[in-house]
Each structure stands twice: as C-alpha cells, then as structure tokens.
Copies of this chain bind each other. A is one copy, B any other.
Amino acid sequence: HVAGVDHERLTDQLRFVLEVDKLKRILRRNTLVDGSRRENDAEHSWHVALAARVFAEYAPKGTDIDRVVEMLLLHDIVEIDAGDTFVYDTELAQTQFKRESEAADRLYALLPKDQAEHARGLWEEFEARTTPEARFAKAIDRLAPMLANWHNEGGTWVTHRVSAAQVREKVAMVAEGSATLGAYATALINDAVGRGYLAP
C-alpha cells in the first residue's frame, strides 16, 4: 500500500505495463538490418519512434512530433492478441481490422478509463490516417522495413516474391506522410528493381 495514491489506478497501470511486455514476443516478417534474425514488434516500435524524431523535419509544417512518437509507441500493441499481419498477405488483411479491434477492446481497456480512451483514440487515428501525425507515423512505419530489406539484398521481398507494384503501394503511404521521405522511398525502390531485389 502506498499512501495518498489511488491504489486501484496504479495497479491497473502496472498490469498494463506488464501485459504489453508480450509485444517483445510478437515476430514480424522482416529481419534486423544485419539479417541475423526476425525483428519483434517491441524493438520495431522503439526504432520507428526514434526514427520519427530523427526525420521530424520532413513532416509537414505544424506536425506534432511528440504525438507521432506516442502513436508509434502504442501502434502495434493490438498485435499481442491479433498477431503480426504481413503487409503483403491479402487473405489475412481481410480479417485484420476485426481481429485488431477486438484486441484493442481488451488491451487498451486494461488502463484506467481516461488513459484507455486516449490510447485507443491514438491507435484509431493511426489506422485511419486522418491527421498529419497519423500519416507521418504511418510513413515511418512503412519506410523502416524498406530500409532493412534494401540492406539485406531484398530480404523479405525476395523470400515472399513481392513485386515492385506491391511495394509502390506502400511507398505511396510514405509519400502521403512526407513528400521528402516519399521521394527517397521511390528512389530506393527504383534502385531495388535495378538490382533485381523486386520483381518488376
């Protein structure tokens, strides 16, 4: 017991912090930049949150980067229940929204009500891409695996026979969030096609 503290509130917060530890065991399709093993969602979330800060100057003027970082720290938590959905898996994508909504219902609700609503709101904003913050967060989230794949001679693009057209759809999402990073991603993909990493 801690004096002067809403004990139930603190216990809920602690339970949430302990529960989201499971994100460290959710594996993504892409590998680390050195190709040594698959990346997990927690370390990915750290990497994109940091990258959002480093690339902040390429967000549209007025974008609140603190909000972008907060969104990126929270954006994958639903995958604790829903699992990772490979961005090029069209079959799984059909059930993704339902699976992730149910996961959000359980996971964010572990927090005290005010914090739960705030966190879930940020996640929904991220998924809907209705604000500059959400579009920039999504741009960074899409750019990161492109960098890793490019540095791994194609990485999961090669393993899963991804085509240039499929990646260009994701590049469009990068461009929606940041003109500069979108142009960079386009140049990267053109180079990857030239190197034979992607089916043309």
Q: 0/1 per residue, A36-61, Cβ < 8 Å to B?
A: 10011011011101110111000000
Judge if A16 is at the interface, Cβ distance under 8 Å.
yes
User: Which residues of chain B are within 8 angstroms of A25 by Cβ–Cβ distance?
Assistant: 32, 34, 36
Q: 0/1 per residue, A178-195, Cβ < 8 Å to B?
A: 001001100100000000
Contact (Cβ within 8 A) B43 A70: no
Q: Residues of A within 8 Å of B, CB-based: how many?
A: 48
Chain B nearest CB, measured from A126 CB (Å): 15
Judge if A199 is at the interface, Cβ distance under 8 Å.
no
Contact (Cβ within 8 A) A42 B46: yes
Q: Chain A: interface secondary structure?
A: helix
Judge if A166 is at the interface, Cβ distance under 8 Å.
no
Pairs A–B under 8 Å by Cβ, sample size 30: A2-B180, A3-B183, A4-B180, A5-B180, A13-B54, A14-B147, A17-B47, A17-B50, A17-B51, A17-B54, A18-B33, A18-B147, A22-B34, A23-B43, A23-B46, A24-B39, A24-B43, A25-B34, A40-B43, A42-B43, A42-B47, A43-B46, A46-B49, A49-B73, A50-B73, A50-B74, A66-B69, A69-B69, A69-B70, A69-B73
Given A2-B180, A2-B187, list of 19 further CB < 8 A pairs? A1-B187, A2-B183, A2-B184, A5-B183, A16-B54, A18-B33, A20-B47, A20-B50, A21-B32, A21-B47, A21-B148, A25-B32, A25-B34, A25-B36, A42-B42, A42-B47, A53-B73, A54-B111, A69-B70
